[in-house]
Amino acid sequence: MNNDVERAQEAGISRRTVAKAVAWSVPAIAVAATVPIAAASCVETTSFDNLRVGSRPSMLTFEPSGVTASLSYTASGSDNTPGVTSQVAATSTNPSWRYIELQLVERLDQGDWVELNIALSQPVTGLSFIVHDIDKSGSPGRVSWVDEVIVSPTGYTAQPGTNIVGNGTSSSPFTANAWGDTPISGGAGRVTLTWGNTVQNVTVRYRAGRTGSARSQHVGIGALRYDACLPPTQQMRSIAPRSAPIPLDGDISVGEPPAALHDANVDS
């Protein structure tokens, strides 16, 4: 059984030809996480596991500071259909965890790309997230797809999985070393990125490394957080009691079981 169920499910997506990069928008969904007070002064995190599978959040909120991360997407190449790009998916693992998709669909030309921009409402230090499921399928002489990931700005520390090579630049992107569609749960195809310096805007470009046909070539973005001690005013804000929870239009589903649709990379 193919590890990437989504690749089979997206077979019916049509292609569009474009000459320039294109952008699309997603509805605004603010997602907040609850962080224990003991860790609140130095750990800021968003809760991907509270995101509803199938939703397309355009904003995540770090707690307790209230710093926001706006998510926007652009794409270029012979097929600009976004597919499930920007959509929340869940693994088949127990417990399940969630991530946001970046996807290239149907016939791929080398150099086609889809890009995520993360724009923070203020500069932060210690920004960190994981890029999951970087792999390649086929063989050196018969290629289906080759994932490449380029990240900017530089200055990050990378912790790559055992099957990841490269340093994340355009000339040396993060890519898989060995051929094979590795399961997302194994961790061999992931890389954790952390910026020790101050950043406010980060871009992740997901690029087709070879010409081929993948139907739904994809990677996932998860575990967005930053580690930084807050100013005293924000520390007091984090400890102050809240009168009532703020409703978020039903877009947080705590403990929701993973949906069958878009349950990526089922281990076989």
Q: Which two tokens mark 74?
A: 């652009």
C-alpha span between 65 and 226 (Å, rounded):
11
Exposed, middle or buried by CB within 10 Å (0-12, 13-18, 19+), for 180?
middle
Tell which residue, 199, 213, 121, has the closest CA to residue 153: 199
Is 48's pLDDT higher than 60? yes
In angstroms, how far is the first alpha carbon of the chain from the final one?
Answer: 6
Window from 11-25, 231-245, 252-266 with minimum mean pLDDT: 252-266
Choose from 12-16, 125-129, 209-213, 237-241 the range with maximum mean pLDDT.
125-129
Window from 25-29, 47-51, 133-137, 154-158 with minimum mean pLDDT: 25-29
pLDDT, one tens digit per residue, over 84-97 is: 899 999 988 888 88
Res. 262 pLDDT band, cuts 50 70 90: very low
Is 175's pLDDT higher than 70? yes
Q: pLDDT value at position 52?
A: 93
pLDDT, one tens digit per residue, over 188-237 is: 999 999 999 999 999 999 999 988 776 678 999 999 999 865 443 443 34
Query: Residue written as tokens 């499921």?
Result: 133
- Assign 9 to helix, strand or coil: helix
